[in-house]
Chains A and B, each alone.
Chain A
Amino acid sequence: MDRRKLWAAAWLAFAIYLLYRATLGAGSTYVMESDNGNWVYADPVEYVAGGAVFSPIRTLGVWIAALLTLCVLSYMYRDNPYYRFAEAVIVGVSAAYAMVVAFWSALIPNLFGELWPAFIQSWAIPGLSAEHRENWWLSFIPLVLGAMLLWRLAPRGSWIARWPLAFIVGTTAGVRLIGYIDADFVSQIRATMLPLIVRTAEAGTIDWGQSLQNTLIVFGVLSALVYFLFSVEHKGLAGRVARVGTWVLMIAFGAAFGYTVMGRIALLAIRFEFLFDDWLWLIDPLERRDGIL
């Protein structure tokens, strides 16, 4: 049997297995009406008890999410059209979602709601005050800057977009500069000024653990800084300290890598949990289907 037939047989077996799980109810989603009239997710046990109804559209959502998950995981084998399709869907949906959310949570309440509050209240946000706030006319500045930014899309005069862009770059740089100088420069230097010998408060004896920790922090920071000191040739004492700095940096990178691995495994685990729990109903960690399967 050639490889193509083997793959076809494997896919067929998988499809039959999915059909079998679907007949058991796998992937089914149920909803119930909440106190405020919204339809919210309900557990299968509530459906069996008669308090919830089957939701075909949300069930379809679970199946689509599961199949897209498999499409993304298929990249592990090799690049393929299914993976690219899933990637394009994620990018497109994310961009559209962010745009719509930004429109309703920033442009409408914070810009148009400031300039024409009565109109926005009557049309979009009933909870908004219909009165103008103090200095409301200042909101014309972001409106004009926003319009200038969109000029980039016009066939002529796209240079006009450079002015608001310069404003954004300038203000962002200014805000970040202050934030970094205070939190990442001055405060970090202050946090490194530590006593190398720490005494316990009660007995006045040396706290060896804390002293060692402070010494490691101080010498770790100094040696790492020496590694980046390129005005002095890394020879003799400077070379030896820089070498220690390299080790300090390697340990920091190792710790960061270890944390990254932990994060990625957690993400893989939640995907498997989704596939085994929400989709295939193979496990029930949240005890939502007690006594059903």
Chain B
Amino acid sequence: MYDFFSNLDRRWIFLAMGLAVAIPVLFQLQFPESSSALSEACFTAIEELPPGSRVLLAFDFDPASKGELEPMATSFVRHCCEKKHKLYFMTLWPVGVQMIDNAIDRVIRADFPEMVYGEDYVNLGYKPGYEGVIKVVVSDLKKLYSTDSRGTNIDQIPMCRNLKNILSMRLIVNVSAGFPGAKEWIQYAATPYKELSIVAGCTGVQAALLYPYVPDQLPGLLGAIKGAAEYEQLVNAAYTPADATPVAKYLEAKRRMGPQFVAHLLMIFLIILGNTVYFLQRAQARRRG
């Protein structure tokens, strides 16, 4: 028995994990979510801004991490729209422009058609240069951004005319998949310029690296799909009528927590099983001398 487990082909583990994720996806298993202090801090940061505040939405992710980050990006945009903030989108990732366009299509064009491009929201697009871009836009945005992502002169866009730099933003909302991302926004914008406040949503890989910045340099953080589900639930509770069910696209993170739950149960079981087999084998070897 011990030999069977210790020599088990790893592909059986892959298959088990595949099934543990695929079956909940197929049957759309969902479990209740409750919010944590960090997701509540993200919610409060946007909620307490006066309507019409300038918010910079920096979407630094690409399709590779879309599954993890798109639900929180969707919720951030929806929350800002519900509060009638002025949204400035930008990205430091080449494919981030498509992620911004997706969020605009899914949320603003679909559910807030009264919002006007150039007056209520603008897509500044992508600029290469990693953290160098952040260093420039904190002092002079128009030095880098002469046009928006559509090629329109930035001085012809009403909400950009009087915009000198990003220090006039009331809040930076960053959705980050790696470098450059939340860490760089904290290092080059939020830490040296105390008047800038930032909240971030990030991938699971990044979350552990960002916790040291909480709460002084980073008041709110959504860690991976769990953080997204918590924040999504807070936004749904605040902005979905009590007698209505939220639209399916505003429940994506909660839906993706179903496979997480089952896969984590499997992992815990495998870790316990592996350790049990290891210690029993060691005890057996000791008895044999």
A125-B151, A260-B205 as given contacts; A283 in contact with B224, CB under 8 Å? no
Residue in B closest to A114 when the chains form the complex, CB atoms: B146
Q: Which of A126, A175, A183, A286 contacts B132 (CB 8 A)?
A: A175
CB distance from B274 to the nearest CB of A (A): 15
A283-B25, A286-B249 as given contacts; A129 in contact with B146, CB under 8 Å? yes
- Residues of chain B within 8 A (CB-CB) of A127 are 147-148, 150-153, 156
Whether the pair A176, B131 counts as a contact (CB closer than 8 A) is yes
- Residues of chain A within 8 A (CB-CB) of B188 are 175, 179
* Most chain A C-beta atoms within 10 Å of own C-beta, residue among B125, B147, B156: B147
- Rounded to whole angstroms, the CA-CA distance of A268 and B267 in the bound complex is 15
Whether the pair B248, A283 counts as a contact (CB closer than 8 A) is no
Residue in B closest to A259 when the chains form the complex, CB atoms: B204
- Residues of chain B within 8 A (CB-CB) of A250 are none
Q: Which of the 9-residue segments B46-54, B62-70, B235-243, B278-286 touches chain A?
A: B62-70
Q: Which of A110, A129, A264, A268 contacts B155 (CB 8 A)?
A: A129
Say if the beta carbon of A182 comes within 8 Å of chain B.
yes
* Most chain A C-beta atoms within 10 Å of own C-beta, residue among B21, B65, B256, B267: B21
Whether the pair B191, A128 counts as a contact (CB closer than 8 A) is no
CB distance from B47 to the nearest CB of A (A): 23
Residue in A closest to B228 when the chains form the complex, CB atoms: A266
Within 8 A of A (CB), among B1-54: 11, 14, 17-18, 21-22, 24-26, 28
Q: How large is the interface on A (under 10, 10 to 19, 20 to 34, 35 or more residues)?
A: 35 or more
- Residues of chain A within 8 A (CB-CB) of B95 are 97, 101
- Residues of chain B within 8 A (CB-CB) of A268 are 17-18, 21, 259
Within 8 A of B (CB), among A175-192: 175-176, 179-180, 182-184, 187-188, 190-191
Say if the beta carbon of A263 comes within 8 Å of chain B.
yes
- Rounded to whole angstroms, the CA-CA distance of A217 and B226 in the bound complex is 24
Dominant secondary structure at the B interface: helix
Whether the pair A267, B68 counts as a contact (CB closer than 8 A) is yes
* Most chain B C-beta atoms within 10 Å of own C-beta, residue among A182, A255, A262: A262
CB distance from B68 to the nearest CB of A (A): 4
A266-B68, A266-B224 as given contacts; A183 in contact with B18, CB under 8 Å? no
Q: Which of A128, A182, A262 contacts B146 (CB 8 A)?
A: A128
Within 8 A of B (CB), among A71-109: 76-77, 97-98, 101-102, 105-106, 109
Whether the pair B156, A182 counts as a contact (CB closer than 8 A) is no
- Rounded to whole angstroms, the CA-CA distance of A269 and B209 in the bound complex is 24
Q: Which of B22, B129, B212, B223 contacts A259 (CB 8 A)?
A: B223
A-B contact pairs, 16 of them (CB 8 A): A97-B94, A109-B147, A110-B144, A125-B151, A175-B131, A175-B188, A182-B187, A191-B216, A256-B208, A259-B204, A265-B264, A269-B260, A270-B66, A270-B68, A283-B25, A283-B28
Besides the known contacts A127-B151, A259-B223, A269-B24, 18 further A-B residue pairs in the complex with CB atoms under 8 A apart: A34-B109, A76-B14, A76-B18, A110-B127, A110-B144, A180-B187, A183-B187, A183-B191, A259-B205, A259-B224, A262-B264, A263-B204, A272-B25, A272-B26, A273-B25, A273-B256, A283-B25, A286-B248
State the A residues within 8 Å of B (CB): 34, 40, 76-77, 97-98, 101-102, 105-106, 109-110, 113, 125-129, 175-176, 179-180, 182-184, 187-188, 190-191, 252, 255-256, 259-273, 276, 282-283, 285-287
